[in-house]
Amino acid sequence: AMFYDSLFVFTIWVITLLPLVLLHRQPVHDTAVQFVLCIEVYAYFAGFWVLQRQTIGMRAWHLELVSESEFTWLDALKRLLGAIAALATVGLGYFWMWIDKEQRTWPDAFSGSQLIRSVPPCR
């Protein structure tokens, strides 16, 4: 699911950066542009998590985000920061589920949510 979602985020970034690169004819290293790219990542993941409980990649793999209470935009930020921390430690935050009694990853623990397998729709 992460791979699929990273393809969508990469596509969004290309759509954002291509006009800037073509106009300036050189790489863009502006802090404001980097901030916009970060906002796009948050908007992609948080939007899907809060509004649909699944990103496009999660839907393909029949994964769903569950939470004991309503999943908020702040919870989405916590989950995203947990995912960044989990990946920044070479995946340690995802392997953590093998140690945790509740089989939670760092993003799960940070946001008070968990991924479960969802039942695929009948065809």
Residue 29: per-residue pLDDT: 77
The reported pTM is: 0.89
Instruction: Kindly state whether residue 123 falls inside one of the protein's structural domains.
Output: no
Instruction: Kindly state whether residue 59 falls inside one of the protein's structural domains.
Output: yes
Domain count, the chain: 1
Residue 30: per-residue pLDDT: 83
The tens digit of pLDDT for each residue in 27-51 reads 777 888 899 999 999 999 999 999 9
Q: Give me the chain's average pLDDT, please.
A: 93
Residue appearing with tokens 């106009």: 23
Burial class (CB in 10 A: 0-12, 13-18, 19+), 121: exposed
Percentage of the chain beyond pLDDT 90 is 82
Instruction: Kindly state whether residue 122 falls inside one of the protein's structural domains.
Output: no
107, two tokens: 């993003």
The boundaries of the domain holding residue 112 are 2-117
**Is the pLDDT confidence value at 123 over 80?**
no
84, two tokens: 């960044």
